[in-house]
Every structure is written in structure tokens, then in C-alpha cells.
Amino acid sequence: MVDETTALLAIALMAAVTLLTRIGGVVIMSFVPITPRIEAFLRHLAMSVIVALVVPAAVKGGPTAMLAVATAGLVMVLTRSAVGAMLAGVACAALLRALPL
Amino acid sequence: MNAHGAPARTARTATLTLRGVVDGAREIAPVAIFVIPFGIAFGAAAIEKGLPATLSVLMSALVFAGASQFAALDLWASPMPYLMLALTVFAVNARHILLGAALAPWLLHLPVAKRYAVLSVLSDPNWAQATRALQRGETDAGLILGSGLLMWVAWILATAVGAVLGANLGDLTRFGFDVLMISFFTAAVVGQWRGLPDLVPWIVAAAVALVGAWVLPFGWHVVAGALAGGITGALRHG
């Protein structure tokens, strides 16, 4: 059993580390001149973060997750609505899981 | 859609208005609703680990980063492995550094106090939303603050519900909520598509992240994939 003082210390540590990650990127960039090359890097970095989040998660999630992602992507192309795409992805996964496969 | 990789619209100014805060909260609301099952799952899991409701709610309020909070529960023991805990939380949340850096050309136009207030509620969904807003030429960072605050409140309340009701609720993620975030992020990627020149950096990011997911310690594959994609893009277009 973790006593309360230890738990509070651990939570404070987690909070400090997480806050550092949240502000760290902007703190670092405040020392780096934003040249066109740096700007191109940041722009591709932004999209690459999402790609790097989605692709392994979809692969690890198996066919259901991959089909959900494909559905979400398709709905986004057709409707340009992020919320619609999100709901379509969830509905697709729920439907696939409800099927007696 | 803007073919041939035309340069991104990058804000040359930044503001922070109450209007923006309200709009940001309203826009993220459908996503925030779906954060609730994860918050409930976290509260319930924390109770099972012997973490009282007051402390799990405090953790959600101060840390506000779901994946790292779940990871912390795996390490929650006496004696507390503080170093391991700090390293794990850093690894899982290191991608925030990149999210923040990507917003830097925008947020650096804000006064310091406002800049860091906005960043303190930065999370994946509200960052994805903010990136889309920036593309359409928005300059109001209140969007990030408002959406972040709503996600934060939803996360805290859901943790409290989970901690009080515990495992009685069962696993709410079975309804497909687990694919919610990746669907939302997929929409964000597709919405940002600016033609074929984007494809190579994305493929590099996906490939590195995928390999990294198997060979790197937990959490680092996102950082590795993102850096690889960013560097590829800079080399091709810089």
C-alpha cells in the first residue's frame, strides 16, 4: 500500500514532468530562429506526429481498427467533417464487433 | 485542396480572446464526450490499485495525460520507484514537446504568461483541432485554451465517476471508444492533406513509428516517427 505522502510526491513528480513536456517544445523553439527550413520541419513534424500515433495503433488494433480508420478517412474526404469521420470510425468498429464473426 | 505542397499558412500574429475560448470548447465538445469512458476507466483502475478517489482525481487534474496515468498505475507500489515513474511519464508524454514545437510559430507571438497558460492544457485532440484551425488562418489561441479546458474538466469529472462507481460499470471501451481517438486523428491527417509531396514524409513517419512500436521502449515510437517525418519534410522542401 502506498501511503498518502508518497502518493502526493509521486503525483507532483508526474505533474512536473508532464508540464515540462507541454511547455518544452515552445521553450526550445524560442531559442531557435524559425527559418523556412525549420518551418518546413515543424509543419511536417505536426502531421507526422499524428501519422505516428495512428498507424501503429491501427495495426495493433487489428482488422477492426484498420477498417475503422479507413472508414474515418473516407468520411473525412467526402464530408470534411472531423466529428462525422470520428463517429463513422466508432460506428464501424462497434458494428464489426457486434457481428458474429 | 492545395496541390503541389503550397506553403502552410502560418500565423504571423496571435491573439487570445474569450470568444476563442468559447468557440474552442464548443468545437471540441463531441470529442470531450468520448474522453469520458477513458476517464471512468482510469478512476476505476486507480481504485483497484489502492489509489483513493481524492488522489486519482488530483492526479487527473494535475497531470491530465491519460496514457501516462495508466502507465503510472503499473508502477504504483511501495517503495515508489520515483526515477522509473519520472522516466516513464516523460517517455509517454515526450510527444507533447513536438506538439508544442509545431505550434511555436503561432504561440511565440503571445505574451509569455498567456503562451504557457495555453500550453498547460495541450493534449493530442485539442492540438489536432488547433492545427486545423491554424491551416484555415485562425490566429486566436483561445481555441486551444478553451478546448483544452473542456477536455480537462471532462477528464477530471470522469475520473471522479470512475473512482466512485469503480468496476461496477464494466469496460466502457468495449463499445468501440478505443478506436475513437485514432478515427479523430485520421480525420486530422486527411484534412491536412495538401497533395503528393506530403506523401513521402508521411510514409517515412508511419514506417519508423511502426518499426519503433516493436523495437523501442513504450512511448518512443511516436517521437521517433514524428522526427523522421519532420526531417524528411524539411530535407525535401526546406
pLDDT, mean of residues B63-82: 91
Helix, strand or coil for residue B15? strand
pLDDT above 80: residue B6 = no
Q: What ipTM does this complex have?
A: 0.84
Q: Do both B39 and B74 map to the same domain?
A: yes
Q: Do both B40 and B137 map to the same domain?
A: yes
Q: Which of B192, B207, B228 is the last residue of a domain?
A: B192
Q: Do both B236 and B180 map to the same domain?
A: no
Q: Do both B229 and B158 map to the same domain?
A: no
Task: Sort out which chain B residues have CB atoms less than 8 A from A82's CB and list them.
Answer: 129, 132, 184, 187-188, 191
In single-letter form, the type of residue at position B160 comes to A
Residue whose entry in the numeric block shows the C-alpha cell 513521402: B200
Q: Do both B164 and B203 map to the same domain?
A: no
Q: What is the DSSP string of B54-114?
A: HHHHHHHHHT--HHHHHHHHHH--SS--HHHHHHHHHHHHTHHHHHHHHHHHHHTTS-HHH
pLDDT the model gives residue A82: 82
Q: Does a structural domain hold residue B219?
A: yes
Q: Do both B81 and B37 map to the same domain?
A: yes
Q: Which DSSP state fits B171?
A: -
Closest C-alpha to B92, from A12, A17, A26, A43: A17
Instruction: Taking each helix axis as running N to C, give the angle between helix B18-48 and helix B53-62, from 0 to 180 degrees, rounded to the nearest 10.
Output: 140
Q: Do both B222 and B131 map to the same domain?
A: no
Q: What pTM, to 2 d.p., does this model score? A: 0.82
B143 touches chain A (CB under 8 A): no
pLDDT, mean of residues B29-35: 88
Q: Do both B39 and B59 map to the same domain?
A: yes
Is the alpha carbon torsion for A16, A30, B223, A51 positive or negative?
Answer: positive
pLDDT, mean of residues B77-95: 90
Q: Does a structural domain hold residue B218?
A: yes
Q: Does a structural domain hold residue B97?
A: yes
Model confidence pLDDT, tens digit, residues A46-55: 888 889 989 9
The residue segments making up the domain with residue B228 are: 195-238
Domain count, chain B: 2
Q: What whole-number distance in Å separates Cα of residue A38 and Cα of residue B99?
A: 14
Contact residues for B230 (Cβ-Cβ < 8 A; gap 6+): A41, A42, A44, A45, A48, B98, B201, B205
For residue A79, the distance in angstroms to the closest alpha carbon of chain B comes to: 10
Q: Which of A5-9, B88-92, B226-230 has the lowest mean pLDDT?
A: B88-92
Q: Do both B145 and B172 map to the same domain?
A: yes
Helix, strand or coil for residue B9? coil
Confidence of residue B192 (pLDDT cuts 50, 70, 90): confident
For residue B171, the distance in angstroms to the closest alpha carbon of chain A comes to: 14
Domain residue ranges of chain A, discontinuous segments joined by +:
1-32, 34-101
Contact B105 A42 (CB under 8 A): yes
pLDDT the model gives residue B2: 36
The DSSP element (H or E) to which A83 belongs, if any, is: helix A82-98
- Residue B137 main-chain phi, psi, to 5 deg: 95, 10
Of B62, B187, B238, the CB nearest to A11: B62
Q: Do both B128 and B218 map to the same domain?
A: no
A78 touches chain B (CB under 8 A): no
Burial, B18: exposed, middle or buried (Cβ in 10 Å; 0-12, 13-18, 19+)? Answer: exposed
Q: Does a structural domain hold residue B9?
A: no
- Residue B8 main-chain phi, psi, to 5 deg: -65, 150
Cell numbers of B107, please?
504561440
pLDDT the model gives residue B172: 60
Q: What is the CA radius of gyration of chain B?
A: 19
Q: Which of B155, B173, B192 is the last residue of a domain?
A: B192
pLDDT tens for the 101 residues of chain A, in order: 789 999 999 999 999 999 999 999 999 999 998 888 888 888 888 888 889 989 998 998 889 999 999 999 999 999 988 888 988 998 998 888 888 76
Model confidence pLDDT, tens digit, residues B115-154: 999 999 999 889 989 988 888 888 999 999 999 999 999 9
pLDDT above 50: residue B4 = no
- The pLDDT mean for chain B works out to 87
Q: Do both B45 and B151 map to the same domain?
A: yes
Q: Do both B85 and B202 map to the same domain?
A: no
pLDDT the model gives residue B74: 83
Torsion of CA A53, A55, A60, A62, to 10 degrees: 140
